[in-house]
Structure 1
Amino acid sequence: MMIHATLLVLLVAIIGLTPTASRAAGKDFVIGLSGDATSLNPVVATDGQSYIAEWPLFDSLVELDQGLNVKPLLAESWEVSRDGLTYTFKLKRGVKWHDGKPFSARDVAFTFYSVLDPKVTTPHRAYFDALAGFSELTAKENPKRPEELAVRPIEVVDDHTVRFRLRYPSGSFLAVLVNPRAGIVPEHLLKGVDLNTAEFNRRPIGTGPFKLVEWRRGERLVMEANTRYHGGRPALDRLIFRIIPDSVVLLQELRAGGVDFIENPPLTEVARLKQTPNLKVLVADNTSYTYFGWRQDLAPFTDVRVRRALYHAIDVPSIVREVLQGYAAVSTGQFPPSSWAFDPSVKPYAYDPARAKALLAEAGFKPGADGVLTKDGKRFSFSVRHDQANQSVKDTAVIVQEFLKRVGVEVHLEPLDWPTFVKKLFASDFEGIVVGWTNHHDPDPFAYTIWHSSQWKGRNFAHYKNPKVDEALEAARRSGVTAERKKHYAEFSKALMEDAPYVFLYFPQQVYVTRAGYEGFVPIPTFAGIYQSLKGVRWTGR
């Protein structure tokens, strides 16, 4: 017994396996993450793990309710001009940064001017195309400064009032002002600093309900309650994010009491978890989707017959049944079935391996001696990179590999840790990928940044280009009328599916497991929406 107790003490000291009983009555809430963040600066962060980790640290002007409508956060109210070109926000008074400095409208202006600054590497810039002076401020050569413009897009009216001026009515403008991609950052710490390399990205100061006290790369992030939070002190004393890349180990830690909350458990275990007395399963719809993609500008993916063949080769509904255990909807494009932009007339390519083989033959491929297709002496063989920690993605990649093998296509899987995977993704350093990708509750931000041909150095890392798609996306984002936007997004969805730029697989539901006794979670049906509610989570012991 003494030996076992001694070993437990050593484990606690070395790797932080803190038994639930030793925590202060549920005041420390331990979250298991499958991968580490890459940056904690919302202006430059690019990936889902970073968005999750930064959410408790920063507040945005507005946030979402469970119906995906915006509501006040740092902004207590706002007015929109009759022509839809001016948004004036009244800011909450008495808000302090984590270092005690006062928050003001200057911080809001600094944040969004930083997003517009072409020297800052951010995936969010194109969200703000509607702002007056966007083209001049974001020009690659000789960009203008805000003071050089005839009309400033962001005006500090006074300490608690900020005004945005648009060049066209935008139906998505309020939607792009929400966390986790629009957290406000402090001017007093970042003015004159290179945001791409700032120490702030590792030691952030926000206005959010929690403040960072420790970040051990690859191990854990520790945050403590912001006692001066403008929305009231959080009920939890500390958030501890433990980085555990192995989904099996993560589940074991949940059962053993090493963590209190996980997302995306092995879905084959969900039924059993629902029957576990001290655990609670939460499920929410999702805007995020998983896909099998490739570089559009690399042969043979430049041939639409090849792309359609790969789509026909994969039995997507069987993946949803077997890998996702039904906790997903088959994807027919960029928008989930719950989105107002979803077009039910767009159908995916049917599973038809015979048709896949015929299309590949039309494209000039012939079976080689070992069964792998060849063309002009080159085997149809390529690598597919994926996140090694996401069990559903890993399983999906293996099944995709098997389906393609059946039609003569050879795939080599390359699992990578999440930070390395993201780095290669944004560098377009891949042939093929299987990835679960975050999305936005409004159709514009991700549809435009993923598919518009101007975004090759941003989220369009697959290098897709189609003038019809560009035209539809531009028309949709320049309208403030939902019915008009819906029409243009239908045109976009049809053109996209016809092009088969990659195999849209599924929209997985968000599945979370938490220890019974914690209450206050609000599973908002958008990517990682439940993390917005951490400020309201409390321990009841029930």
Structure 2
Amino acid sequence: MKLTSMALTALLLAGPTWAAKPLVYCADADPDSFDSAQSDVGATHRAAAYPLYNRLVEFRPGNVEAVPSLAESWNVSADGKRYTFKLRSGVKFHQTPWFTPSRDLDADDVIWSVMRQIDAKHPGAKAAAGGFPGAVSGNWAGLIQKVEKLDPLTVRFELARPNATFLALMANWQMSIVSAEYGERLAQEGKETQIGRLPVGTGPYRFINYQKGNNIRYAAHPHYFKGVVAIDKLVYAIVPDPAVRVEKLRVGECGLVESLKPQDIASFQTVPTVGMKRIYPQITVYLGFNTQSKPFDDARVRRALSMVVDRPAISKAVFDGRADPAWLPYSGKTLWGAANIKAPARDYEAAKKLLAEAGYPAGFETTIWVRGNGGAYNLNPKLMGEMVQADWQKLGIKAKVVPMDFADMLRRTRQGEQATVLTGWMNSVDPDELYANTLSCEASKTSSSRWCNSRFDQLIEEARTIPNRAQREKLYAEAQAIFDHEAPWAALVYPALVLGYDKALQGVDNTLAAPFMLERLYWK
């Protein structure tokens, strides 16, 4: 066949033939928004923050320090209270059927993205009817006193006090930068919430459409500031059933699956097209007690119930032994752990004594909420809940395991309707993120435990102001000692994350914040 010069040019511009092959990522749940700032749900960050947005700074594979992203450089004042970021020039926002940007990213976009989360009177605040969870639990309004534009590409943050976690905060998914121009237009039209349904970002992919419970479609951002991604079509297939995800990976319908059971690894050893990778981020699976409702308002009850759970058995049954038993929020093997605090022996007599002292010698009835299908950090929550149920039954506790839709479970937990709920936290770049979002007094308004301890809060607040890691480690160790005594939730296991992928997919490398970076992926 003879090609005209125009056809040949078009073929060359199209790039390598493999670029036309889409990547199908099999996700375990629907996102609850496409605006990262409105959510603390992993499924949302994977569907929104990963493909659609960028932050001022990021973490690269093998790198524990913040590196440039939308900000090409920054400096910190001697007193640690002023952070000045120099933005990249020429960063383009997505052009979509619902919005055509008239300018590149500048300081106004950074200011809008931050201020809408910390100022209830800001026009962008109306986008989040339920508030901005990261900003609330982290008390960003109390930390960030001022965000000002020094010139179109320079923005300065004035902090109320030095904060050693600030660069990690700037890399947080909830600090994704949105278009101020788009936000302003939506505010003028009274359509603020549209930003969570029809997003506009600067990320490697732009949003195409979403069918709840089915799929999300994306296309490559043709003007991405890091260079157009190698894979031009991306599909997030919503596959809640872990067994179905496994089969789709096996037959090649999924190119990437984040949440696989460790037990599945052996079955793929004879599948030459599939690669497997174990990742060891800081993940803590835990059972939250609603400390604002009886009987869990009594620490003796919480300690008794936590004490009798057979964590090694859970590790073996749910994770094939590839999870360490947990007692504290952070593993003692990490910098931020407290290796000197040991889990007590499983002692039913001691637990019964604690229950009797609290006024429950014959036990009580309660519920354990679990998500109906497994997610990235817990592939079989129902089984885990049933194992906890069996351990508690020996104390006279009649606990009903209640499988729930994940989004409904999160919504009702935030409203404080739970007695106990099986959940978890993963991918904290800095420990303050976990503590602020799950155990701080600010977080007690919506967290699974609804727990507030003034001394604990004082310790984590002090740790934020100290850049020295060894000193921060001591403060967190004291905080974990308080956690140990109060038991606002029962830490159960620290699991590994198992990633399955088509071996033709290259660049599957994890960072501190994410198990893979979409912009680095390409087909061999």
Judge same fold: TM > 0.5, yes or no: yes
Alpha-carbon separation, structure 2, partners of 1:498 and 1:421: 27
- Are 1:392 and 2:380 an aligned pair? yes
Deviations 1:141-179 (A, max 9, x none): xxxxxxxxxxx6111111111111112111000000114
Match of 1:503 in 2: 490
The letter of the residue matching 2:523 is W
CA-CA distance at 1:59 after TM superposition: 0.4
Aligned amino acid, residue 134 of structure 2: H
**CA–CA separation in structure 1 for the residues paired with 2:183 and 2:334:** 37
Partner of 1:382: 366
Given the alignment of the two structures, is residue 41 of structure 1 paired with residue 51 of structure 2, yes or no?
A: no
Q: Deviations over 1:19-39 (max 9, x none)?
A: xxxx96772000111110000
Residue 470 of structure 1 aligns to which amino acid in structure 2? D
**Alignment equivalent of 1:233, drawn from 228, 236, 252:** 228
- Residue 450 to residue 196, structure 1, CA distance change in 2 (3 Å): farther
Instruction: Find out whether 1:123 has 2:154 as its counterpart.
Output: no
The residue number in structure 2 matching 1:106 is 108
In the TM superposition, residue 238 of structure 1 has moved relative to its aligned partner by 1.1
Q: Are 1:342 and 2:329 matched, yes or no?
A: no
Hey, what's the Cα distance between the residues in 1 that align with 2:454 and 2:146?
29
- TM superposition shift of 1:337: 4.2
**Contact 1:285/1:525 (8 A) holds in 2:** no
Q: Does the C-alpha gap of structure 1 residues 388 and 136 become closer, same or farther in structure 2, counting only changes over 3 Å?
A: closer
Q: Which residue of 1 aligns with 2:326?
A: 331
SS at match of 1:46: coil
Shift in alpha-carbon separation, 1:92–1:393, aligned structure 2, 3 A = same
Q: Distance in 2 between matches of 1:309 and 1:197?
A: 47
Distance 1:233 1:350 in 2: 55
For the residue of structure 2 that corresponds to 1:191, the secondary structure is helix
CA contact (8 A) 1:60 1:178 kept: yes
What residue in structure 2 maps to residue 147 of structure 1?
A: none
| Structure 1 residue 69 corresponds to structure 2 residue 65 | yes
Instruction: Output the CA distance in 2 between the equivalents of 1:411 and 1:316.
Output: 18
* 2:494 partner letter: F
Alignment of 1:402-417 (within 5 A): 402-417=390-405
Q: How many residues align?
A: 486
Partner of 2:84: 88
Q: Structure 1: which 5+ residue stretches go unaligned?
A: 1-22, 138-151, 368-372, 374-379
CA distance in 1, matches of 2:33, 2:510: 24
Alignment RMSD (CA, Å): 2.2
Match of 2:210 in 1: 215
1:530 and 2:515 are equivalent in the alignment: yes
Which runs of structure 1 show a deviation greater than 4 angstroms over 4 or more consecutive aligned residues? Answer: 23-26, 126-130, 192-197
Letter in 1 for 2:72: E
Alpha-carbon distance in structure 2 between the residues aligned to 1:437 and 1:128? 15
Aligned-pair identity in percent equals: 28
Identify unmatched segments of 5+ residues in structure 2: 1-16, 96-100, 126-130
Q: Specify the alignment match of 1:476 in structure 2.
A: 463
Alpha carbons 1:59, 1:179 under 8 Å: kept: no
Give the CA deviation at 1:135.
4.3
SS at match of 2:455: helix
Question: How many Å apart are 1:271 and its aligned residue?
Answer: 1.7
The Cα shift of 1:394 comes to 2.4
Give 1:349 deviation, angstroms.
3.0
Q: Given residue 530 of structure 1, which amino acid in structure 2 is its aligned partner?
A: P
In the alignment, which residue of structure 2 is the partner of 1:206? 201
How far does residue 303 in structure 1 lie from its aligned partner after superposition?
Answer: 2.0
Q: Distance in 2 between matches of 1:439 and 1:30?
A: 23
Q: Verify the 8 A CA contact 1:320 1:506 in the aligned structure 2.
A: yes
Deviation at 1:455, TM superposition (A): 2.9
Which residue identity lines up with residue 123 of structure 1 in the other structure?
Answer: P
Alignment of 1:3-18 (within 5 A): none
1:37–1:49 CA contact under 8 A, matched in 2? yes
Is 1:451 equivalent to 2:436 in the alignment?
no
Asked if the contact 1:26/1:539 (under 8 Å) is kept, the reply is no
Residues 217 and 235, structure 2, Cα contact 8 Å, conserved in 1: yes
Q: Structure 1 counterpart of 2:421, which letter?
A: I
SS at match of 1:441: coil
Q: Does the 8 A contact of 2:367 with 2:400 survive in 1?
A: yes
1:247-266 → structure 2 map (5 Å cutoff): 247-266=242-261
Tell me whether 387-396 or 154-163 shows the greater mean CA deviation.
Answer: 387-396
TM-score, structure 2 as length reference: 0.88
1:333-359 CA distances to partner (integer Å, 9 max, x unpaired)? 222445422111122232222322232
Secondary structure in 2 matching 1:153 = strand
Task: Look up the match of 1:401.
Answer: 389
For 1:233, what is the secondary structure of its paired residue? Answer: coil
Shift in Å, 1:222: 0.6
Equivalent-residue separation in structure 2 for 1:53 and 1:356 (angstroms): 43
